Amino acid sequence: MAALQKSLHCRRLVLLCLLVADLWEAGAGQIRYSVPEEIDKGSFVGSIAKDLGWEPLALAQRGVRIVSRGRAQLFALNPRSGSLVTADRIDREELCAQSARCLVNFNILLEDKMTVYSVEVEITDINDNAPRFGVEELELKVSETNTPGFRIPLKSAHDADVGENSLQKYQLNSNEHFSLDVRSGADGNMYPELVLERALDREEEAVHQLLLVASDRGDPVRSGTCSIRVKVLDANDNAPVFTQPEYRVSVPEDTPFGTRILTVTATDPDEGYNAQVTYFLEKNPRETSKIFELKSTSGDITLIKSLDYEDAKFHEIDIEAQDGPGLLTKTKAIVTVLDVNDNAPEFYMTSVTSSIPEDSPPGTIIALFNVHDRDSGQNAFITCSLPEKLPFKLERSVDNYHRLITTRALDREQISFYNITLTAKDGGNPSLSTDAHVLLQVADINDNSPVFSSKSYSAYIPENNPRGASIFSVLANDLDSDGNAHVTYSLAEDTLQGEPLSSYISINSDTGVLYALRSFDYEQFQALQLWVIAQDSGNPPLSSNVSLSLSVLDQNDNVPEILYPTVPMDGSTGVELAPRSAEPGYLVTKVVAVDKDSGQNAWLSYRLLKASEPGLFSVGLHTGEVRTARALLDRDALKQSLVVSVQDHGQPPLSATVTLTVAIADSIPDVLADLSSISPPDADDSDLTLYLVVAVAAVSCVFLAFVIVLLVLRLRRWHSLRLLQAAGDRLAGVPTSHFMGVDGVRAFLQTYSHEVSLTADSRKSHLIFPQPNYADTLISQESCEKKDFLSEPQSLLDNKGEKTPQQAPPNTDWRFSQAQRPGTSGSQNGDETGTWPNNQFDTEMLQAMILASASEAADGSSTLGGGAGTMGLSARYGPQFTLQHVPDYRQNVYIPGSNATLTNAAGKRDGKAPAGGNGNKKKSGKKEKK
């Protein structure tokens, strides 16, 4: 067995070498090879590099590849050797069935030249299939009445191979009753028939077993067998006969299921049961039985599966007719499938470019594609088209290949993107079409210069501009894209008044904004001409320029300059003469002035600002002429001083002044005699008005601040009064004697630091009197004692003779601010701790008490210590005077209208004079007078 396989392999190699054909046919441009089927994967088929005249490495660099249409690739290219090899197992019977020649066509593409070569490979047959019968055992019924020479058709065998490898002969085992006769049909096939050589005798042998062998002539020879069982019957000596030896019918491929396409008929001359014919489809390995159905009684053939012209163009149906006893006859029905235009064209994009520079020349290849239609005839005739008005066209190549090329140069600025629709239309009726889309991006090149929005620009800038001020902005657009459209700005080199232009103006290279590098002066130059350059970032870069006229606008920055009269260089004063006999309108002199500005800023007007004799002279508003306004009188002074103001019309206006001295005399000697008495004018007079204005403004501000402060104080005292009125209602019924004793003055002057908690809506009030402070009181410390005035309702000074067993040390840090010092009711201010009275009414009431006591002491009607301890005030104020009206005075108190002064012990201790006395009284009187 191993030797047989080795011999078979050697024969295959020899056959491979013998079947390699010529690769090129003259003028055909096609490469042909031949290869046997069933060879190993990667087996050599032919040398593509040699046949194309290229070295294998050069062929790989040119991008050679195989292009096929939708089928499995059977062959491959070896990039190293440039040879064509098999890519998979090849089965000739699967590809071409029973066709005499099996050809496989595909194309080879060279990428660099977009060139296509057609390759045709013939698949040669090997004997890999044995003949096969449709059934393994065949049963025949033969009547014993049949005479020798009676023929019985047998089942045919099928061999998928072709040529010598196909079915070649039949053999029947030797027996004495039957022989085998092989008949050749019109289609070239062999049909075996069993021939009766000797009459049968059912009583002698009822069943005969035969073996039919079908073999081919391949190497090695393959064969198939069928067992025949012959049963001997009686009296049936006629087999059915078909009305036609062969049936043919044409059916469109779109015929629906269940359609009857053909009816076969067979007749039997016998009668009765022997004449009953039944129809059968002969079983075979093909798929015919899966497509068609044969009615056994009627012989109708119907479709049970759709037809497809692209799969099979015709079908052969083997039909058997058998009578009742079992005699049969055969016929064949050939069904031709008619093509219907049911397949639209199909696109196969071989190579396509997605981007192309806009400067590509006409004829540039955009895409290479193939169009194929599975239909045939006119239905497979394809025409390709493009939309109109596109800069592209189609060129047809071999084997339905087309090239999409440009017809003219492209412009990205007009159209940057193309969606090209390719339409393939077949020739069927109705026609079918397919669209394919090619997306093409036009790549930009730097073919457009920047373009300014205007042909020229003009800008204006006021003089005295700040450095770095923005002057103007220019903008240039570039129709290109990306880096080719990035514009940068610059200024052309130039000079202005001997200096480079870059020292005056700069430009932002990205935004195009111009900036002033210095302050411009209209009096130096009025206009500036410069060129702005815009350049893109392409390679090479493109640029354009535009002119900019920059005009400097005048501002009123120059004071009028007085040309006449001029101040003498020797320090003397210029004098103008006017005779006493001058009539009104007499021209005394003329003030001449100029302004370096222009326009309205240089329009000057003259006014008489000041004159020693008002109404005597007048100044022309626009001429500057100084004339007499009336006749000169004898009382008019000899020397007249005039101050003339020259003012321009700018915003704001600027002015200058000149002082004129006019001498009035009837004769020249009189004037000369008085010249020595003429002195220069006082320069400080012009500043007097300014000082007055400043003083008035300062006084107004001080007055306004005073009014505001006074209003705040009034509101604060009004608020305090409302809080204390609610608390005062609780103490109104307490007798005065509970708070004032015989020594009322001492009790009144004694200092207490107290804290009052009073609420308007509460029934309880709490007063706390901590340790008294005797540092700055006017009475003895021995007479003071800490008492709880709420728990012991007694007089404050009833125990004046008692000495306190213990005294608190003096508080040396006790101070009062200036606001806490006593004074008139209008000057009293309370502190934040509540120890100083905040009620204006209470303060005035206390001052009235002090004044009344002082008056009584001065008249000798009362003393400070008399009057039952009420200080002589009980009759005047009665019980309404309570502790809440007693303030805490800790400074010297001066009582107006009295010679009594309450001195401060601390002040004496510090060596300070008392605040009372006549001297202080006079001084206070002076202040009040002011």
State pLDDT tens for residues 7-25: 444 445 434 433 433 333 3
Instruction: Quick: pLDDT tens for 270-322.
Output: 778 888 999 998 876 566 668 899 999 999 999 999 898 888 888 989 899 99
Residues 6+ positions from 930 with CB-CB distance below 8 Å = none
Which helix (DSSP H) or strand (DSSP E) does residue 784 occupy?
A: none
Residue ranges of the alpha helices (H) in 649-687? 668-674
Q: Sort 369 into a burial class: Cβ within 10 Å, 0-12 / 13-18 / 19+.
A: buried
Q: Sort 714 into a burial class: Cβ within 10 Å, 0-12 / 13-18 / 19+.
A: exposed
Minimal CA–CA distance to 140: which of 330, 327, 331?
327
The stretch 659-676 carries a mean pLDDT of 71
Q: Going by DSSP bridges, is the β-strand pair 167-172/207-216 parallel, antiparallel, or unpaired?
A: antiparallel
Rounded Cα gap, residues 913 and 172, in angstroms: 171
Residue 783 exposure: Cα atoms within 13 Å on the Cβ side: 20
Cis peptide before 652 (omega within 30 of 0): yes
Burial 821-855 (b: 16+ CB within 10 A, else e): bbeeeeebbbeeeebbbbbbebbebbbebbebbbb
Residue 739 exposure: Cα atoms within 13 Å on the Cβ side: 19
SS3 782: helix
**CB 744, CB 875: distance < 8 Å:** no
SS3 163: helix
- Tokens at 206, concatenated: 């009822």
Output the pLDDT for position 282.
Answer: 81
Q: What is the pLDDT of the chain when averaged over all its residues?
A: 75
The residue with greater pLDDT, 210 or 903, is 210
Confidence of residue 725 (pLDDT cuts 50, 70, 90): low
The stretch 773-781 carries a mean pLDDT of 35
Cis peptide before 391 (omega within 30 of 0): no
**CB 485, CB 540: distance < 8 Å:** no
Q: Going by DSSP bridges, is the β-strand pair 575-578/655-664 parallel, antiparallel, or unpaired?
A: parallel
Minimal CA–CA distance to 407: which of 420, 394, 393, 395?
393
What's the CA angle centered on 378, arms 374 and 384, to 5 degrees? 75
Q: Sort 348 into a burial class: Cβ within 10 Å, 0-12 / 13-18 / 19+.
A: middle
Q: What does the DSSP 8-state code read for residue 650? A: S
Output the pLDDT for position 708.
Answer: 92
Instruction: Quick: pLDDT tens for 331-371.
Output: 999 999 999 998 999 999 989 999 999 989 999 999 999 99
**CB 212, CB 192: distance < 8 Å:** yes
SS3 578: strand
The stretch 246-253 carries a mean pLDDT of 94
User: What are residue 698's phi and psi, to 5 degrees?
Assistant: -65, -40
Rounded Cα gap, residues 893 and 843, in angstroms: 13
Q: What pTM was computed for the model? A: 0.46
The stretch 171-194 carries a mean pLDDT of 87
User: What are residue 51's phi and psi, to 5 degrees?
Assistant: -70, -30
**CB 292, CB 317: distance < 8 Å:** yes
The stretch 79-98 carries a mean pLDDT of 82
Confidence of residue 605 (pLDDT cuts 50, 70, 90): very high
Minimal CA–CA distance to 841: which of 828, 822, 854, 852?
828
Quote helix, strand, coil % in the chain, to nearest 5. Answer: 20, 35, 50
Strands, E, within 98-218: which ranges?
Answer: 103-110, 115-124, 132-133, 137-143, 151-153, 157-158, 167-172, 178-184, 190-196, 207-216
Strands, E, within 339-432: which ranges?
Answer: 346-352, 355-357, 365-372, 382-385, 392-396, 401-406, 417-426
Output the pLDDT for position 319.
Answer: 92
Rounded Cα gap, residues 365 and 115, in angstroms: 12
